[in-house]
Structures are given as structure tokens and as C-alpha cells.
Amino acid sequence: MTQYEPPNKQWYAIVIYDRRSREGTFPPYLNVFLPVLRRFYLDELANTPDQSLSVGIMRLIVQEKNKKKTGELARQLIKQTNSQITNAVFKEKVLEFIQTIVIDKFVNLSREELEAMLELESIRKSKVYQEAKEEGIQEGVLEHKLKMIPILSELGLTIEQTAERLELDVETVRQHSKQ
């Protein structure tokens, strides 16, 4: 019986920690892998003079929920993105990703607070904001249509007529007319 022989026998594994204190200990039976294990600690990489944009974004993801530190790092990454990336489409995606990370970390902050934190002209231009706005509009429209079901029923429209008028499926109208 033959086993698969990898073309490159000089392999290694990479583990990325946000800080050295999170590493923990290896069980003794895994010590055989220690020679091929490379560990990186994002907080230690932060001290490198020319930090790559990728490492900075990883640091932003694991950054503790501290408005001041997160804001500083995010602003630095936004400047770095604007200066290093020339492709407009890719630049926009990276900027949106940075904004999304910050928005996800601070869900309780208002748009104005996030704009101030990131020193942005307007977060409204971001795809994340536009998608959230569109989703909110759609939810509002659906909610309004659902509120109209009992009213149209009282006016004598059948379930099928109500579904047609409100552009909803018959089953949705049937479920909400019972309530």
C-alpha cells in the first residue's frame, strides 16, 4: 500500500494569535509538530515600522473593543489604503471592509459617532450602509403591507385579491389574515 507523498516535504503550519498570552500549551503528543509550527503574534507585529495593510486589518479584527485605539488603527488603515492601493474598485472594497469591522465592533454607536471615530466625510457612501438602508426600507414596506391585510379583508377583498393588490404570496396573506 502506498501513501501520498507531498511534492514539497518542507512544509510548516502558521498560527496567528492576537497576543502571546493567548497561546496556551500543547499536549505532549503534539510536540512532534513544534519544529514545523510558526507562530505570529499580532500585537508584536504592530511594532514593525512598515506594517502591511493585511496585518493591520487582522490587528483591527482582533483589537479590543476600545473606541480610541480602534479608531486610531482604523484611521491609519484608511490612510494606508488610500495611499497604497491604486485600483479604485479594490480600494473601495478594502475601505468598506475596514468600516464593516468597526461597525460590527461598535453596533451601539450612531452613524455620526462612527463617522467622527473614523474621520470620514460620510459613512452613508459605504456599501454596508447602503445595503442596510435598503434592507430597512424593504422591511418597512413589508411591514406596511402586512398591516394592510386586515383592512383590505374588512373591505371585502378575498385573500387572493389582497395578495394580488399587495404583491404578496397568497400563503403570507392567509397567515396574516388569521392574526
Nearest to 39 by CA among 18, 54, 64: 18
**pLDDT, mean of each 10-residue run, the chain (179 residues):** 66 82 85 84 69 85 86 90 84 87 88 81 64 81 89 88 90 84
H or E stretch including 57?
A: helix 53-62
DSSP 117-134: HHT-S-GGGSHHHHHHHH
DSSP classification of residue 8? -
- Give the distance from CA 28 to its chain's centroid: 37
pLDDT at 2: 57
Phi, psi of 27 (to 5 degrees): -65, 150
The domain ranges of the chain are 9-45, 50-123, 132-177
Q: What is the pTM of this model?
A: 0.53
Question: Would you state the cell numbers that stand for residue 86, as one nine-digit string?
Answer: 491604486
pLDDT at 1: 46
